[in-house]
Structures are given as C-alpha cells and as structure tokens.
Structure 1
Amino acid sequence: MAWRSGGSTNTSLIDNLLRNGLLNSPSLAAAFKSVDRAHYAPTDPYADSPQSIGYRATISAPHMHANAAEALLPYLKPGGKVLDVGSGSGYLTRVFAEMVKPGGKVVGVDHIGELVEMSIQNTRKSEEGAALMVSSVLRFLKGDGRIGLKEEGPWDAIHVGAAAKGLHEELVEQLAKPGRLFVPVEEESGGQWIWVVDKDASGKVTRKREYGVRYVPLTDHPGERT
C-alpha cells in the first residue's frame, strides 16, 4: 500500500508503514520513530510522498526510505560504516546513524553545498542529532558521491539516493567484505530500477535487479555541467 501510509504525526506515519508491510524490522521502526521527519521535509512531512527540497532534489517518500533501509538492514549494525550518496536533506542519513551507534560511522555526501548545509542544520534541530555529529558518528560532506569516499572505506553499506547512470564500479570496489550497495539506476530505455549489489566475505560480487522506481537523477549542481 505504497503512497497510503501517511499519518498525522511521525509515530502514526511509521505505524502505518508497519501496518501496510512496508516496514518490517522493529529496530528500523524504532530508528525511524526517533527521527522526526518534520525536521527534514519542508511541508506536509508525514505524507507518504516525495517532496521538493530545492536545487532539483527531493526527499523521497517514506515508503521508499523504508524499502532502502530494509534492503540494507543486515549491514546496519552498531559499529558499522555507512556511506549515503546524494544525502539531500539528511533524513535517511540520520536514520542510518541511529542504527550504527554506538561506535559506528555514517557519512552523507552531496555535491550541492547548499544541501549539505541544510542537512547539518536539519540534524541540529534535535539534541540527539546534534550529539551524533559532535561524536563523529554522523557527518555531512560536500563532494561527488558517485566516486565514493575511498579514503574512509571500506563501507558495510552504501545507499544512493538518486538515479545513477550505472552501477558506479568505484562504489562496488569500496564495499566491505561483506557489504551491500543499494542504488537506483536509470536505464537506456528511460526506466529506473533498483539494483542491489552484494560483496561476500571472499570478495565475490553479485548484482540483482529488483523493482522499478522513479527517483530524481544523480546529477551535478544546477548550473554546473554534468
């Protein structure tokens, strides 16, 4: 029941995602409930729909964030390392930080500097979010996430929050052993599909095409060349 899980409060939104089978993990549900989406979505934050955050970017619908987090769940553990590419308003990045604390590290990367600053300010709206940044569990950086962040890898989980032109082998290379990449890919036909890329303990990589989606493209800052 995608698109029908909105609520009047953050808690009711997450409860509806649980009720409709779009969110299944109790630990993820607790993490989502602890992060008020109103701090990251500019209008109607508890609707199950994507919203513009400016700069040709959006915050995805809650059910899509739930799908992504569920897909990465085996790698979202205390002490884990997560890279969030195209972190936008910082919402899902913050949820990931809830899952890997204590001792973990989550880095949100966006090449739009204004969105990086927005995500920092959004996260500071709660004492808990501010504390995660002070402790360096959570950081936001300006950069080209399409090439990853090799110097701080390998990453247990990599999430891409916008439609890429391909699987970006740089990101696959930066996965830990084991590790998982969740990425929407825009195909030549014009459609978009979620791909889940796994690297096992021996380094073997498997790629699986999942389901059709509709994300904004993973592009340069408006006004810059792609």
Structure 2
Amino acid sequence: MLLLAVILSLWAAAPLRAADPYTADRERMVARQLKGRDITDPRVLAAMGRVPRHRFVPEHLAPLAYSDMPLPIGSGQTISQPYIVALMTQWAEVKTGDKVLEVGTGSGYQAAVLAELTGRVYSIELLPELARAAATRLQELGYGAVRVRTGDGYAGWPEEAPFDAILVTAAAPEPPPALAAQLKEGGRLVVPVGPRRQVQQLLLLRKKSGKLVEDKRLPVMFVPLVPGSETKK
C-alpha cells in the first residue's frame, strides 16, 4: 500500500512538472543572477523561484523570460530584469501581513512576487489595457488577492493608505509627495528617480519622523512614470 501511495503521488505531480517547461530556467536564474550577486533574503529568493516569469511576457518572448534583461510587454512598457525585481523586493523588506503598494503594475510580475510574501498587495496602473491584462493574469495564476486598479501613480491609493512599503516601477523626477504621505512611519519607499531616457538612481528611502531619509541607491534606467494628466492631452 505504501508503494502504491508513492507511485500515485508521483503520477499526480508529473503533470504539474510537465506543465512548466521553464522550471530549470527559473532555478538557474535564482542561482546565477540572484544568489550569484547580492540577493540574500531567502524569502525573496524563494518567491522569485516560484513565480513563472514566462507567463508575464508575450508568448514569443517566453524563451527569454529568465534571462537577465528587461523585455517589452506592449504599450511602450517593459518588464524589469529579474535582478532588479528581486533587489527592489529585498530593499522593501516585506514581512508577512505588510500592506504594500506597487505603482506601475505593468505585466503584474512584481505584484506576483510581492504576493508570495504578503497577502496585502495593491497595484495601480495608468494604462487600462495593461491593468486589465495584469489583473486577469494574476487571477489565472492564483494571485487573485492582489488588488489592481487603473489610476495615476503619482496620486497613489489614498483610500488604502498607509502602507508599510511602496515600490515604484517607473522613474519620477523626484519621489512623489503623495506616496511619501501614504507611507507609514518607518515604512520603505523604493523608487527610481531621475530624468527620462537617462541614467537614474534607484533609491531606498525610509520614513523617519515624517521625513524621507535615503538609505541606499543604485544607478538604473527605467521607463518614465507618466502623470495621469499627460494621457488626457
């Protein structure tokens, strides 16, 4: 009976493994691109190892999904390279139960990684077509608890504030004041700051005594965080 149970369990698991031909690629990504650099948080590494990045890119780009590069997702937007997603997540120091806001849903990949760490993820996307596609994709992959809405990222999500952590996945000229206001005391804001189409700085800012204090920075290049007013012109 024990042998039969083992055989049945292996048979049941086989379709799941076969359904994801990119498991080995994902494991290599974690080992070489993340562990091989400065991603050390075991929860972040585990989350990156679980989320199927190939499901968040156009089908013809799936073979490149676990390469260390950003990829286009349509509407002039990109999905960040895995290392940057992991780094931003690690800097955000997300704990179980934390309330997290993501600004710039894009494909939904960063939101899925965050959802592996906490069940309270809110994501706002300016472009309706991306927001709809991301919400559908997250639901299909079991991340239906992530709340996605269309809106101006500069305004944040005041109805759900305050947040323990806020991650911004597009570059702003400076940290948006509304996001700083929606951050809890002691909270973490991870945001790329700088001019469009030039080298920017990814900042980790902590809220101390009501003010944002810089903790870390890294040179990066992100697509711009577009104000909602620009889409109405």
TM-score normalised according to structure 1 size: 0.84
Which fold has the larger relative contact order, with Cα–Cα distance below 8 Å and residues 6 or more apart in sequence?
Answer: 1
* 2:105/2:124 contact within 8 Å kept: yes
Work out whether 1:115 is the aligned partner of 2:123.
no
Q: Does 1:99 align with 2:117?
A: yes
Partner secondary structure for residue 116 of structure 2: helix
1:60 lines up with 2:76 in the alignment? no
Letter of the structure 2 residue corresponding to residue 183 of structure 1: V
Structure 1, unmatched stretches of 5+, are: 1-6
**Which residue of structure 2 aligns with residue 4 of structure 1?**
none
Contact 2:186 2:207 in 1 (8 A): yes
Alignment equivalent of 1:203, drawn from 207, 210, 233: 210
Structure 1 CA distance, aligned partners of 2:211 and 2:81? 33
Larger radius of gyration: 2
Higher normalized helix content (fraction of residues): 2
Map of 2:223 onto structure 1: 216
What does 1:7-156 correspond to in 2, within 5 Å? Answer: 9-42=25-58, 43=61, 44-73=64-93, 76-101=94-119, 105-126=120-141, 128-129=142-143, 133=144, 136=145, 138-156=146-164
Aligned 8 A contact 2:34 2:83 in 1: no
Count the aligned residue pairs.
206
1:182 aligns to 2:190 (yes or no)? yes
Q: How far did residue 122 of structure 1 move?
A: 1.9
What secondary structure is seen at the aligned counterpart in 1 of 2:117?
helix
Aligned equivalents of 1:23 and 1:208: distance in 2?
17
- CA–CA separation in structure 1 for the residues paired with 2:55 and 2:197: 36
Deviation at 1:188, TM superposition (A): 8.6
TM-score normalised by the chain length of structure 2: 0.81
Give the superposed CA RMSD.
2.2
After TM superposition, give the deviation of residue 203 of structure 1 in Å: 3.3
Q: Distance in 1 between matches of 2:48 and 2:56?
A: 12
Measured after TM superposition, the shift of residue 150 of structure 1 is: 1.0
Q: For residues 215 and 198 of structure 1, what CA distance do their matches in structure 2 show?
A: 21
Question: For the structure 1 residues 220 and 56, does the alpha-carbon distance in structure 2 shift closer, same or farther, using more than 3 Å as the test?
Answer: farther
Indicate how the Cα distance of structure 1 residues 117 and 171 shifts in structure 2: closer, same or farther if over 3 A, else same. Answer: same
Take 1:189 and 1:45, find their aligned partners in 2: how far apart are those partners?
23
**CA contact 1:17–1:63 (8 Å) conserved in 2:** yes
TM-superposed deviation, 1:30: 1.0
Q: Give the 3 Å change call, closer, same or farther, for CA 163–204 of structure 1 in structure 2.
A: closer
**Paired letter, 1:39:** R
